[in-house]
């Protein structure tokens, strides 16, 4: 899917109240370049893409956030707007089999609830972009998780740290429940959160300590599509270009949030020390 450069170019020019010639001067290109790109008579170069979106970001025009707001306005009953941060371009149809089996909930297509959430996970990759997706949940079976023991242990299983317990009835039951659906809604667990889950699996934290540590690092909810039926009800709406300046901005935002989350984790470990059960007490 190509970027919607023509419309973005016109939108940014409209917001700033600039003529084609005035915008061309700001970008350091000829007026004909702006004109031909607006009319889709030519494809934008990488240099022009970066130039326009960086220019807009410098002017405090969050064009991708504005598009998120507009797309939300068009949603009807049973529809949701979701976001997929991709390290590269999605080629062809969405394919749940392309996902890694050791993701949070195994193989599937992973999305988030907001633009900021999606970009924060791919801001460190040079060719990354964010896809806006419309999802209709009609006649689909959903499995929803909260920050609790079931969620922690299910993620630990799929990420490969519960192998010694994989034949345990409790674990078998958890995994069976995780696949008896079309899609999953669950809290996001990044690598930092997984380290906390690992400490629980290693017997260093109780389930209560782990739960409250994870709640302190809240990253929002993710939607994971695991059936072909669910994927058939997804529609790619738009691919959003991420300029280097926007990429750097969200990298810094995530670093700040990570620092705050780490401090909260330290407090949660102390506050809930000795409360709850250790992994070997749960799986005896």
**What is the mean pLDDT, run by run of 10 residues, along the chain of 284 residues?**
94 96 95 95 94 95 94 95 91 82 90 91 88 96 93 91 88 94 91 82 87 76 95 96 92 77 77 86 84
- In a domain, residue 71? The reply is no
Reported as a single tens digit per residue, the pLDDT across 168-195 is: 999 999 999 999 999 999 998 777 788 8
- In a domain, residue 67? The reply is no
Same domain for 139 and 36? no
What's the structural domain count of the chain? Answer: 2
Dist CA 218 CA 248 (whole Å): 22
Tokens 């407090």 correspond to what residue?
Answer: 267
Please give the residue range of the domain that contains residue 55: 1-61
- In a domain, residue 243? The reply is yes
Same domain for 212 and 156? yes
Same domain for 123 and 37? no
Same domain for 206 and 82? yes
- In a domain, residue 69? The reply is no
Question: How long a stretch of residues is the chain?
Answer: 284
Same domain for 276 and 150? yes
Same domain for 186 and 246? yes
Dist CA 282 CA 266 (whole Å): 24
- pTM equals 0.89
Same domain for 184 and 227? yes
Same domain for 57 and 30? yes
Residue 275 CB contacts under 8 Å (≥ 6 apart), including other chains:
206, 208, 209
Reported as a single tens digit per residue, the pLDDT across 207-260 is: 888 888 877 666 789 999 999 999 999 999 999 999 999 999 988 887 777 776
Same domain for 199 and 121? yes
The token duo for 262 is 């780490």
End residue of a domain, out of 31, 61, 91 = 61
Handedness of CA 130, 23, 47, 2 (dihedral sign): positive
- The distance of Cα 284 from the centroid of its chain, to the nearest Å, equals 36
End-to-end CA distance of the chain: 51
């Amino acid at each position: 899917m190509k970027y919607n450069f023509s419309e973005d170019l016109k939108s940014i020019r409209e917001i700033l109240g600039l003529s084609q010639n005035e915008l061309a001067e700001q970008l350091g290109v000829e007026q004909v370049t702006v004109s031909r790109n607006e009319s889709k008579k030519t494809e934008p170069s990488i240099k022009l893409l970066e130039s326009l979106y960086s220019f807009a970001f410098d002017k405090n025009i969050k064009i991708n956030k504005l598009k998120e707001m507009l797309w939300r306005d068009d949603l009807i009953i049973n529809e949701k707007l979701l976001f997929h941060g991709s390290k590269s371009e999605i080629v062809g149809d969405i394919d749940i089999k392309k996902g890694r089996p050791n993701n949070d909930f195994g193989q599937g297509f992973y999305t988030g609830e907001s633009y900021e959430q999606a970009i924060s996970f791919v801001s460190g990759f040079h060719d990354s972009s964010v896809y806006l997706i419309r999802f209709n949940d009609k006649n689909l079976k959903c499995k929803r998780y909260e920050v609790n023991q079931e969620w922690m242990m299910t993620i630990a299983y799929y990420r490969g740290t519960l192998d010694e317990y994989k034949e345990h009835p409790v674990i078998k039951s958890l995994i069976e429940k995780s696949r008896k659906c079309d899609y999953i809604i669950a809290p996001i667990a990044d690598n930092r959160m997984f380290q906390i889950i690992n400490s629980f699996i290693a017997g260093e934290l109780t389930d209560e300590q782990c739960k409250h540590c994870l709640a302190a690092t809240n990253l929002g909810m993710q939607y994971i599509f695991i059936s072909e039926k669910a994927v058939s009800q997804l529609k790619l709406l738009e691919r959003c270009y991420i300029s280097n300046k926007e990429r750097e901005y969200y990298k810094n935002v995530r670093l700040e949030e990570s620092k705050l989350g780490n401090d909260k984790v330290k407090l949660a470990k102390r506050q809930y020390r000795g409360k709850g059960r250790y992994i070997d007490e749960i799986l005896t």
